[in-house]
Chain A
Amino acid sequence: MEAGPFHLDTYFLQHFQEGNESSFEEVFKTYYNRIVGFCQQFIGDKDQAQGVAQEAFVKLWLNRQKVETVNGIHSFLYTAAKTDSLNYLRHQKVIGKYRDKQLHLKEEELNREILESFDFDQLEFMELEKMIIRSINELPEKCRMVFELSRIEGKKNCEIAAQLNITVKSVEANMTRALKTLRVKLAEYLPLILVQLIMKNF
């Protein structure tokens, strides 16, 4: 998984704030798919998620002079994505996703709650990002490969199985393991009670 973001020279932030297009282009290309992926988790519709993601970048452009640090850039993007995703959810009518309308409402409510709880305050967020990268790199080799193929490259379980020459069940098991492991390692940065974690048996 890739390390930190773009080419960090001393003048990057200055150029970015001044509206240098290639600086902005670099930011765009680094973060676009991440923001789309993030929005899609809550919005569902791929095209709408793209629309929201693009709006976030436009906002970033308009407010580029207000961004004070390089880290502030992705903080801003995620915050904008969060706000716009919430707005989108608020204005969407409940479509027939499930036959059980109540179920759909529950799902939406939970999505909204999760979105609202995000606080991309710079420091905490930067730490979280680093932790994610580090945790993924610390996964056992096969586990990490499976996870990255699934999450980063978007491959299906059967494709991963074929590529790595393992069974689909093995892929599923590795994904589950990855999720558990990350979930534990990132617990510190997610709003959970640590005590409960110690008592869990993994």
Chain B
Amino acid sequence: MDYQLINKYLLGETSESEVRELFNWIEEAPENRKEFIACKKVWAFTARGNESEDKIWRLLFAPRLKRHKLIRLSFQLAQYAAILFLVFGSGFAFQYFGWGFNKEKLVYQKSTSITVPLGQMTNVELPDGTKVMLNSGSSITYDGSFALGKRQVSLNGEAYFDVAKDREHPFVVQTFLLNFEVLGTSFNIEAYAEDITINTTLIEGSLGVKDKSQNRILLLVPGENAQYDALTSKISVTKVNTEIYTSWKEGLITFRNEKLKDIARKIERWYNVKIIINNQKLGEQAYFGTILKNKPIDQILEVLRLTSSLKYRMITKTDVPTLIYWD
């Protein structure tokens, strides 16, 4: 019984002829085979990968869990706080594309599709000069006719568009439920197919929203936020203060169906405040939304009050964290 050979094989250090020798021995007698199998099993249970669990957790896993959480909860009719943009989820793609930020300038191609893995963002420039920032787990697709003037892209996920002005050629973003026709505009659409609500906010320019039969449903002007509920097929438009939203790409935190009490904990950490939610049911309600991390706390509270009727009381004292009550 040559344990050394078995050992060597299990370590992956055998040459091909040694492997052949091993397998010849395995085939000689059933006890040999069983012996080998037993060794292999011991090996399998004592084997260890040597990856940094921390890195894999942070970059690949934690974001995924949030997405999964979203699927589970998306069919509850939770209260939405549309602070900036809303999200619908896509079928998440388990794709591995490598690490790091990507800044790509694209040239004309037959059919182009850009997919961003979870936990990353990508800046892309389309052939007409439109700049797109794609968020985690998103993809856009367009074909050769784009460069010829038919400015049409399909979006699955979340992207911020800074569309190059071209009055002759409308820029159209297709999502699975609605089409957005853009006329020289900056706006954000979050369109992950899992959710039941689509939300978009217009910062600059004008944005037309059409259904799949190309009927225009509405036209947004800057400062307006449109929320489309897929269950009821109703759209509601509200006016929002866009000044708060213009520095979109810096320090953004998005809540995807998170309980208010969890959101409160996060805010407590960033701002060194203490938040008390008197009503336990309120704490359990789930919110969608994105807030800017580097705005003063009172602005954040104002936004939450305006968009989701979250009344607050703020008590500032010296030497202790500011106290905030939500009810």
Contact = CB atoms under 8 A, between A and B. Distances in A.
Interface of A: 19, 21, 24-25, 28-29, 32-38, 40-42, 46, 49-51, 53-55, 57-58, 61-62, 98-100, 103, 106-107, 110, 113-114, 117-118, 128-129, 132, 136, 147, 150-154, 172, 175-176, 179-180, 182-183, 186-187, 190-193, 196, 200
A41 B43 contact: yes
Contact of A57 (B6, B10, B61): B61
Contacts of B97: none
11 contacts: A19-B69, A32-B49, A32-B51, A33-B53, A38-B47, A40-B49, A100-B20, A129-B45, A132-B46, A183-B42, A191-B34
A28 B61 contact: yes
Given A25-B57, A36-B51, A61 B65 contact: yes
* Closest CB pairs A-B (n = 5): A36-B49, A37-B47, A33-B49, A41-B44, A37-B48
Contact of A103 (B23, B43, B62, B64): B23
Contact of B44 (A38, A150, A152, A179): A38
B48 A152 contact: yes
B34 A54 contact: no
B300 interface: no
A183 B39 CA distance: 6
A190 B61 contact: no
Interface of B: 1, 3-4, 6-7, 10-11, 16, 19-20, 23, 26, 31, 34-51, 53-54, 56-57, 60-62, 64-65, 68-69, 94, 96
Nearest to B49: A36
Contacts of A53: 49
Contacts of A50: 49, 51, 56
Q: Which of A24, A58, A117, A183 has the most CB of B within 10 A?
A: A183
B185 to A, nearest CB: 37
Contacts of A41: 10, 40, 43-44, 47
B149 to A, nearest CB: 41
A29 B53 contact: yes
A150 B47 CA distance: 9
B74 to A, nearest CB: 14
Contacts of A152: 46, 48
Contact of B16 (A19, A36, A54, A100): A100
Contacts of A54: 56, 60-61, 94
B45 A128 contact: yes
Given A19-B69, A21-B65, A179-B42, A37 B49 contact: yes
A106 B64 contact: no
A50 B55 CA distance: 13
A49 to B, nearest CB: 7
Contacts of B44: 37-38, 41-42, 114
A172 B4 contact: yes
A118 B22 CA distance: 23
B225 to A, nearest CB: 30
A182 B49 contact: no
B53 A175 contact: no
Given A132-B45, A151-B48, A190 B38 contact: yes
Contact of B38 (A32, A103, A183): A183
A176 B4 contact: yes
A148 to B, nearest CB: 9
A28 B51 contact: no
A132 B46 CA distance: 8
A29 B51 CA distance: 10
A151 B49 contact: no
Nearest to A57: B61
A114 B3 contact: no
Given A100-B20, A183-B38, A196 B31 contact: yes
B56 A32 contact: yes
Contacts of A153: 48
